[in-house]
Structure 1
């Protein structure tokens, strides 16, 4: 499974972006997005922001689960209390069909399974904890891009740990 993670600020500006692949079940951690899809990742995530705004008012939760689907890509969302959005675009390892969702035990093959949702939620929670630590720096200003190599390595570690 390939992942594209982005933190979107309150003014719908990207604060952080990271692309990685699955490390679970023998994965090497490299994303498998095609070159054409790699260019569309930002567009797909930003196009789902309207849906995020609709869903955030109907749900009182921070973790909004899978909010949108674009072809074979799923978008999961986590909202912070300050209206910063964590978006994760994930592409299953195999095309999802009704028969494969019932028969497959691989987490990467079924993005809407309870195991996958729990793994994504744990990833978001750990990244959120690190995000709070990063923005508490006296040098950070609201809606400023996060350039910290420590934060990037912690996001990568959370991806390896949960996804």
Structure 2
């Protein structure tokens, strides 16, 4: 679904704090105030995600929050790690596939004995894979 400018902000939240953040840009460079707005919207959606987790058996929670034209979609792992995607387009199948593939790569990161679920993910290959999957499924 190509567009002139697409909003995509992806965050992985461990227990209570973000362990990975990625702003996927398509179009013009974003202002810093816009990035703060994205962080605020994602943070505000965490309560909705906590409620939605207990209402379904699926990991993919679909749309959990909305702020004007921005939508927050979420995915929760069995260990209650949350994947959040802030976007401004409608692409349920692409988002589901994106989350599923990211979950596979997240598991590979967690298999590293030197990495804990609360450690920030600073892996360049993981970051590149997130951006590649975003290009494949979301842009």
Normalised to the residue count of structure 1, the TM-score between the two structures is 0.77
Question: Are 2:37 and 1:40 equivalent residues in the alignment?
Answer: yes
RMSD: 1.4
Which has the higher relative contact order, 1 or 2, with Cα contacts under 8 A spaced 6 or more apart? 2
Q: What is aligned with 2:3? A: none
Residue 3 of structure 1 contacts residue 31 of structure 1 at CA under 8 Å; is this kept in 2? Answer: no
DSSP 3-state at the match of 1:83: coil
Give unmatched runs, 5+ long, in structure 2: 1-5
How many residue pairs get aligned? The number is 133
Alpha-carbon offset, residue 57 of structure 1: 0.6
Alignment of 1:108-123 (within 5 A): 108=89, 111=90, 116-123=91-98
Deviating 4+ runs (over 4 angstroms): 30-34
Alignment of 1:19-98 (within 5 A): 19-21=23-25, 29-30=26-27, 33-91=30-88
Normalised to the residue count of structure 2, the TM-score between the two structures is 0.90
Distance 1:72 1:157 in 2: 25
Distance 1:90 1:34 in 2: 16
Q: What is aligned with 1:3? A: 8
Give unmatched runs, 5+ long, in structure 1: 22-28, 92-107
Describe the superposition over 1:107-153 as per-residue Cα deviations: whole angstroms up to 9, x where unpaired. x4xx2xxxx10000000011111100011111101211101101101
